[in-house]
């Protein structure tokens, strides 16, 4: 099933970009769209936000950011970080990506199975559980093939995306603050759609991290940026 890591980062970054007048198209499976459409998006210009399920994908242009999205291994199989096959849950956009003139592609991940981390394939196979050999019959491991223009890794993909948003706010010279209360609202929405913590399987957390812990990490990062 889907997990809480990823959608929250998409909301935080996407909402920030929309507030700067930048058009955002979110590509994800219908099960995630159903949940994310309930998120409290910035609504002054709804034309800046579009949702597209992969089967309806007609074009990707400009900047593409993949956040916690599973990628195919060399056998074209999708896995979760536990080495289990999840191909039936993930729509294949990789075979179509060559059709689109991407100016730049940033991949964000944390477990080694994420789309775009192909440049780290050998290292993932060396140090990540199930990197080289997975738990499914393909036995090809969770390490992915496709390489993004750049990649960023972190404790969770959501947290990494929050850091990216903080960095962009600094570059745009605008004020941005993380809200643990907003993350709690987002978690409640995801949980109501049976989307849970991918590590613990529990409620109100992302890979074992609750919003108050995230708040402390972001607060410390703010301190580093301002000193």
pLDDT tens digit string along 11-57?
A: 999 999 999 999 999 999 999 999 999 999 998 778 899 999 888 88
Three-state SS for 87-127 is CCCCCCCHHHHHHCCEEEEEEEECCCCECCEHHHHHHHHHH
What are residue 157's phi and psi, to 5 degrees? -70, -35
Average pLDDT of every residue of the chain: 94
Q: Which of 96-100, 130-134, 184-188 has the lowest mean pLDDT?
A: 96-100
How far apart CA 138 and CA 226 sit, in angstroms, is: 49
Contact 184, 204 (CB under 8 A): yes
Q: What is the mean pLDDT of residues 181-188?
A: 98
At the fourth CATH level, the homologous superfamily of domain 7-179 is: TON_0340 (3.90.1640.20)
How far apart CA 122 and CA 131 sit, in angstroms, is: 9
Q: Which residues contact 151 (CB under 8 A, 6 or more apart)?
A: 106, 107, 108, 109, 116, 117, 119, 120
Read off the pTM. 0.94
* pLDDT for the residue numbered 227: 61
pLDDT (tens digit per residue) in 51-104: 998 888 888 878 999 999 999 999 999 999 999 999 999 999 998 888 888 899
Per the DSSP assignment, residues forming a β-bridge with 206 are 209
How far apart CA 33 and CA 26 sit, in angstroms, is: 9
């Amino acid at each position: 099933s889907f997990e809480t890591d990823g959608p929250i980062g998409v909301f935080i970054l996407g909402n920030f970009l929309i507030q700067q007048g930048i058009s955002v198209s979110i590509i994800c499976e219908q099960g995630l769209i159903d949940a994310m459409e309930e998120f409290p998006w910035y609504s002054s210009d709804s034309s800046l936000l579009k949702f597209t399920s992969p089967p309806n994908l007609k074009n990707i242009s400009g900047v593409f950011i993949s956040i916690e999205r599973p990628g195919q291994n060399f056998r074209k199989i999708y896995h979760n970080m536990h080495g289990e096959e999840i191909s039936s849950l993930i729509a294949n956009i990789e075979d179509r990506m060559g059709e689109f003139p991407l100016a730049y592609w940033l991949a964000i991940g944390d477990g080694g199975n994420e789309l775009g981390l192909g440049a780290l394939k050998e290292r993932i196979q060396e140090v990540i559980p199930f990197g080289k050999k997975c738990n499914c019959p393909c036995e090809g491991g969770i390490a992915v093939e496709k390489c993004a223009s750049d990649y960023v890794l972190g404790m969770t993909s959501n947290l990494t995306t929050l850091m990216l948003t903080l960095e962009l706010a600094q570059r745009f010279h605008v004020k941005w603050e993380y809200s643990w209360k907003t993350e709690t609202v987002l978690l409640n929405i995801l949980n109501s759609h049976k989307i849970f913590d991918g590590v613990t399987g529990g409620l109100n957390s992302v890979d074992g991290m609750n919003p108050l812990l995230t708040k402390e990490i972001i607060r410390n990062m703010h301190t580093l940026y301002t000193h």
